[in-house]
């Protein structure tokens, strides 16, 4: 079989397009942000990618219907620019798989004339942050100013290990094809699925893309998660483990 099977539901026309990637990762920050945006914007799924580099697994919905794990492409037709979202159940499961899936996505979006990429990720700080920062990295230093104006911070040599996985590869391999882009990393404890970090990402993207995005449903999730975190902390205190802000003891 081919390394990646692409199934089109329709062939979209895209003008002035941007790719936004939000696959599972640290705190699922990128996935949460991308899925929230495509949901609120009413983006339409136009293709699914299946691959022998994804787990050999089907998922089951509440009606008992199965669905092969996939990565999916949605398109949002904006006023001045269109956005293609890449989301999915999993990242590629091996390093070869990471490369093959990134290349397959780039093949698709290159054909759509897309030249700009934002990849979304989490930056695990080990702490719960009230005001999570959004860190950036770019393929082209000329992009920094625009991002800094929107609130993205650049911190020399952070993350020190670079960016591992699809968020890095799509930019690195995209650059070899003449695409420009940035990785936006929402600060997150890394211990919970983190809608707060996702919210921080959306607020930046909303400025960069000049689109209003309703985040009220995401903010409800923020409240839920904060209650969960408070609860964990109370149990800890009751056990006499003191008043720690650092959550690295969870899980």
* Residues engaged in binding a copy of itself (CB under 8 A): 1, 5, 7, 50-69, 92-93, 95-96, 98-100, 102-103, 136-141, 144, 154, 156-159, 161-166, 168-169, 171-173, 175-176, 183
Q: Which is nearer to a copy of itself, 46 or 53 (CB)?
A: 53
Q: Cβ 30 to a copy of itself, closest distance in Å?
A: 15
Q: Which is nearer to a copy of itself, 58 or 235 (CB)?
A: 58
Return the biggest CA–CA distance within the chain.
Answer: 60
Residues 6+ positions from 208 with CB-CB distance below 8 Å = 118, 146, 147, 150
Q: Cβ 24 to a copy of itself, closest distance in Å?
A: 14
Q: Which is nearer to a copy of itself, 174 or 218 (CB)?
A: 174
Radius of gyration of the chain (CA): 18
Chain centre distance of CA 173: 17
Q: Which is nearer to a copy of itself, 109 or 211 (CB)?
A: 109
Q: Which is nearer to a copy of itself, 80 or 145 (CB)?
A: 145
Q: Which is nearer to a copy of itself, 66 or 238 (CB)?
A: 66
Pairing of strands 116-124, 180-188: parallel
What is the rounded CA–CA span in Å between residue 24 and residue 72? 12
Q: Cβ 87 to a copy of itself, closest distance in Å?
A: 17
Residue whose C-alpha is closest to residue 36's, from 164, 172, 169, 202:
202
Residues 6+ positions from 150 with CB-CB distance below 8 Å = 204, 207, 208
What is the rounded CA–CA span in Å between residue 142 and residue 135? 16
Token pair for residue 37?
């945006």
Q: Cβ 35 to a copy of itself, closest distance in Å?
A: 19
Q: Cβ 168 to a copy of itself, closest distance in Å?
A: 4
Give the position of tokens 């056990």: 239
Residue whose C-alpha is closest to residue 120's, from 30, 16, 234, 1:
30
Q: Cβ 18 to a copy of itself, closest distance in Å?
A: 17
Q: Cβ 220 to a copy of itself, closest distance in Å?
A: 22
Q: Which is nearer to a copy of itself, 128 or 163 (CB)?
A: 163
């Amino acid at each position: 079989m081919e390394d990646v099977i692409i199934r089109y539901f329709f062939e979209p026309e895209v003008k002035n397009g941007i790719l936004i990637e939000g696959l599972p990762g640290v705190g699922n920050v990128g996935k949460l942000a991308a899925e929230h945006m495509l949901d609120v914007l009413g983006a339409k799924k136009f293709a699914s990618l299946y691959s022998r580099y994804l787990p050999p697994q089907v998922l089951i919905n509440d009606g008992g219907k199965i669905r092969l794990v996939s990565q999916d492409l949605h398109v949002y037709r904006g006023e001045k620019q269109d956005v293609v979202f890449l989301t999915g159940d999993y990242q590629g499961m091996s390093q070869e798989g990471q490369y093959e899936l990134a290349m397959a996505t780039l093949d698709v979006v290159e054909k759509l004339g897309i030249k700009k990429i934002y990849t979304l990720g989490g930056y695990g700080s080990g702490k719960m942050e009230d005001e999570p920062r959004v860190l950036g990295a770019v393929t082209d230093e000329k992009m920094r100013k625009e991002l800094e104006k929107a609130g993205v911070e650049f911190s020399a040599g952070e993350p020190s290990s670079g960016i591992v996985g699809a968020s890095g590869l799509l930019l690195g391999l995209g650059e070899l094809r003449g695409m420009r882009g940035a990785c936006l990393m929402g600060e997150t404890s890394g211990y919970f699925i983190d809608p707060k970090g996702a919210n921080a990402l959306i607020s930046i993207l909303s400025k960069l893309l000049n689109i209003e995005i309703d985040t009220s449903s995401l903010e409800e999730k923020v409240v839920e998660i904060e209650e969960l975190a408070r609860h964990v902390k109370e149990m800890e205190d009751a056990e006499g483990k003191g008043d720690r802000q650092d959550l690295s003891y969870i899980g």
